[in-house]
């Protein structure tokens, strides 16, 4: 039976083929030397616990974000001492953003920017650097060990960093020995249900499995550990005891009070001061 990941990957291939026809690899290679200098993602996440704060227009798990929060997000993230880096989705059909959005956001902030996408070809890694990305996401449920290693080598050759994403113990075993950033994603992309699809929305996210975070102790001890998906002020303090950082998006981008208020609640929760820890979940 097809999973949501199967559907997304087919759409990614279709988008990528159209992109390569419009902007061939030779053009991307010409753009790379003129890209802005890389900002270090590992350095931005230390010392202390930091957020990688996300920007996306929608998600397959809950649907659209709040438009005003998307507009507010770049400068709110830039101003927040809790935010170490930004993550920008670049998949148009399922997340409503594009690589050009990453370039514009990167130019407006001083913090590192991660290209978060379903990377399936080397072209996307070179494209990420050409448009100013400082790091890329490499998913172990999409790439086998050989491609994870090869894509990581290309990423480092271009001066960027890779955030490796895992969901299972088997996927952890596929990681390159020199991986510096490893994230555990609680979202069940290989599920056949729990996602709203392309045209609807949901107030609750049914695509999460928090037990995945129990794998934190299995991650390479020398790597920075990142918790991904389902993070809120209600659970962020607990996560900060097991992880070095958290990638947060939906909580911030769907909060009716705005991004700044939500970030403040995250900070209060980490300081043990939150009075209403579930308001921003």
The overall average pLDDT reported for the chain is 91
Report if residue 221 sits inside a domain.
Answer: yes
> DSSP E strands: which ranges in 45-112?
50-55, 58-59, 63-64, 83-89
Query: What is the pTM (predicted TM-score) of this model?
Result: 0.91
- Please report which confidence band the pLDDT of residue 60 belongs to, taking 50, 70 and 90 as the band edges: confident
The 10s digit of each residue's pLDDT in 108-161 is 999 999 999 999 999 999 999 999 999 999 999 999 999 999 999 999 999 999
Closest CA to 185 of 203, 160, 170, 207: 207
- Note the Cα 139 to chain centre separation in Å: 10
Tokens, residue 257 = 């009070």
Domain range holding 66? 4-270
Whether the pLDDT of residue 21 is over 90: the answer is yes
DSSP assignments along 248-262, one per residue = E-HHHHS-TT-HHHH
In this prediction, residue 241 carries a pLDDT of 95
275 in any annotated domain: no
Residue 161: give its domain's CATH number: 3.20.20.70
Do residues 8 and 60 make contact, with C-beta atoms less than 8 angstroms apart?
yes
The token duo for 95 is 């997340």
pLDDT at residue 68 is higher than 80: yes
Three-class DSSP category at 179: coil
Flag whether 280 is in a domain. no
Enumerate residues 6+ apart whose C-beta is below 8 A from 17.
Answer: none
Question: For residue 165, how many other CB atoms are within 10 A of its CB?
Answer: 26
Residue 201 lies in a domain: yes
The reported pLDDT for the residue numbered 275 is 46
Whole-number percent of the chain with pLDDT over 90: 81
| pLDDT tens by residue, 168-219 | 999 999 999 999 999 999 987 655 445 545 555 555 555 578 899 999 999 9
Q: What is the total count of domains within the chain?
A: 1
195 lies in some domain: yes
The pLDDT of residue 274: 45
- Residue 125, domain member (yes or no): yes
């Amino acid at each position: 039976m097809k999973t949501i990941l199967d559907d997304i990957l087919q759409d990614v291939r279709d988008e990528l083929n159209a992109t390569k026809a419009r902007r061939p690899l030779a053009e991307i290679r010409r753009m790379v030397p003129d890209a802005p200098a890389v900002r270090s993602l590992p350095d931005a996440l230390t010392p202390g616990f930091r957020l990688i704060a996300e920007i996306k227009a929608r998600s397959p798990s809950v649907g659209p974000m709040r438009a005003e929060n998307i507009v507010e997000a770049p400068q709110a993230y830039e101003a927040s001492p809790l935010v170490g880096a930004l993550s920008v989705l670049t998949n148009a059909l399922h997340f409503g953003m594009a690589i050009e959005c990453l370039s514009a956001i990167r130019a407006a902030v001083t913090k590192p920017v991660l290209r978060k996408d379903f990377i399936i070809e080397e072209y996307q890694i070179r494209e990420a650097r050409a448009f100013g990305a400082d790091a890329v996401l490499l998913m172990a449920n999409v790439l086998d060990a050989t491609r994870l290693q090869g894509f990581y080598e290309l990423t480092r050759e271009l001066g960027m960093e890779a955030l490796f994403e895992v969901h299972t113990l088997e996927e952890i075993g596929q990681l390159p020995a020199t991986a510096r950033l490893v994230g555990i994603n609680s979202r069940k992309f290989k599920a056949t249900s729990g996602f709203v699809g392309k045209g609807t929305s949901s107030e609750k996210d049914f695509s999460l499995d928090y037990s995945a975070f129990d794998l934190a102790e299995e991650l390479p001890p020398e790597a920075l550990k990142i918790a991904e998906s389902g993070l809120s002020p209600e659970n962020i303090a607990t996560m900060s005891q097991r992880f070095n950082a958290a990638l947060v998006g939906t909580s911030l981008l769907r909060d009716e009070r705005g991004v700044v208020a939500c970030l403040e609640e995250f900070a209060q929760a980490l300081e043990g001061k939150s009075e209403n820890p579930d308001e921003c979940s």
